[in-house]
Amino acid sequence: MARENLQARAARAQRIMARLQAVYPDAHCELHYSNPLELLVATILSAQCSDRQVNIVTAGLFQKYRAAADYAAAPLAELENAIRRIGLYRNKTKSIKAACQSLVEKHGGEVPRTMEALTELSGVGRKTANVVLGNAFGINEGIVVDTHVARLSRRLGLSSHTAPDKIEKDLQAFAPRKDWTNLSHWLIWHGRRRCFARSPECPACEIKADCPAGQKVLNPKLTPEQQEKMRKRI
């Protein structure tokens, strides 16, 4: 793919988003939750852990702890035991308990609806706040940049950065604000279903025509063996 200017990149980004929306019309947050508090807790638990594993744990957790006050009052050892199968469970237990204590003391037990208030909570950074705001409240304050979004942003040539905040700014320049929450879902779903970290399915990829990495892999001048080697290392 030839070197492109900002206008051409923006046009390509629009084609990518339109295609991903068509391929994944039902894309959504795959953490299970029924209210903002459950999503906040689930997102804290999801750091360096699969959504599937989190959903297994929260199935029982959300039955036992239904309000911020329940987490705040729970003995640390009891709460640790409830999420023990989650990686980094000790640190996450402390974060959840401290965050819920702040919710009780400062917000009447309710999850706040602003980036500033959310990121003041223990264990809550911009990524977690974006998840909660976008999915629980429908507020497009930013774009969630997880490992899938970061990987695909670089492969697609939409960002050359590795820092999440810089990747987020790059994506915001191309995506309408109304699509910020959905964009992260589209990229995450594509990353989980097609554009894997290792050996992405470039030949079958729905957006290969607009993917610089995919175009390198599918270069007709390469032999099938060379294409396969390229696919495994992009």
Instruction: Decide which of 230 and 107 is more confident.
Output: 107
What is the pLDDT confidence band of residue 232, given thresholds at 50, 70 and 90?
confident
Are the CB atoms for 85 and 53 separated by under 8 Å? yes
Active site residues: 127, 146
Residue 94 reports pLDDT greater than 60: yes
- Pick the closest to residue 190 from 200, 198, 181 (CA basis): 200
Residue 206 reports pLDDT greater than 70: yes
Rg (alpha carbons) of the chain, rounded to whole number: 20
What is the pLDDT confidence band of residue 62, given thresholds at 50, 70 and 90?
very high
Q: What are 126-151's pLDDT values in tens digits? A: 999 999 999 999 999 999 999 999 99
SS3 per residue for 135-156: HHCCCCCCCCCCHHHHHHHHHC
Instruction: Give the C-alpha distances (Å, rounded to integers) separating 131 from 141, 184, 231.
Output: 10, 9, 31
Q: Please give the span between the terminal C-alpha atoms of the chain, in angstroms, as a whole number.
A: 15
Residue 1 reports pLDDT greater than 70: no
pLDDT of res. 226: 76
Lowest mean pLDDT among 77-91, 105-119, 217-231: 217-231
Instruction: Decide which of 108 and 229 is more confident.
Output: 108
Residue 234 reports pLDDT greater than 80: no
What is the pLDDT confidence band of residue 92, given thresholds at 50, 70 and 90?
very high
Mean pLDDT computed over 154-175: 97
Give residue for tokens 């909660």: 132
pLDDT of res. 227: 79
Q: What global pTM score does this model have?
A: 0.93
Residue 161 reports pLDDT greater than 90: yes
Q: How far apart are CA 32 and CA 54, in angstroms?
A: 8
Q: What percent of the chain has pLDDT over 90?
A: 90
pLDDT of res. 220: 83
| Domains within the chain, CATH numbers bracketed | 6-27+144-233 (1.10.1670.10), 36-136 (1.10.340.30)
Are the CB atoms for 234 and 200 separated by under 8 Å? yes
Q: What are 13-33's pLDDT values in tens digits? A: 999 999 999 999 999 999 999
Per-chain mean pLDDT for the chain: 95
Residue 97 reports pLDDT greater than 60: yes
pLDDT of res. 2: 57
Mean pLDDT computed over 95-107: 98
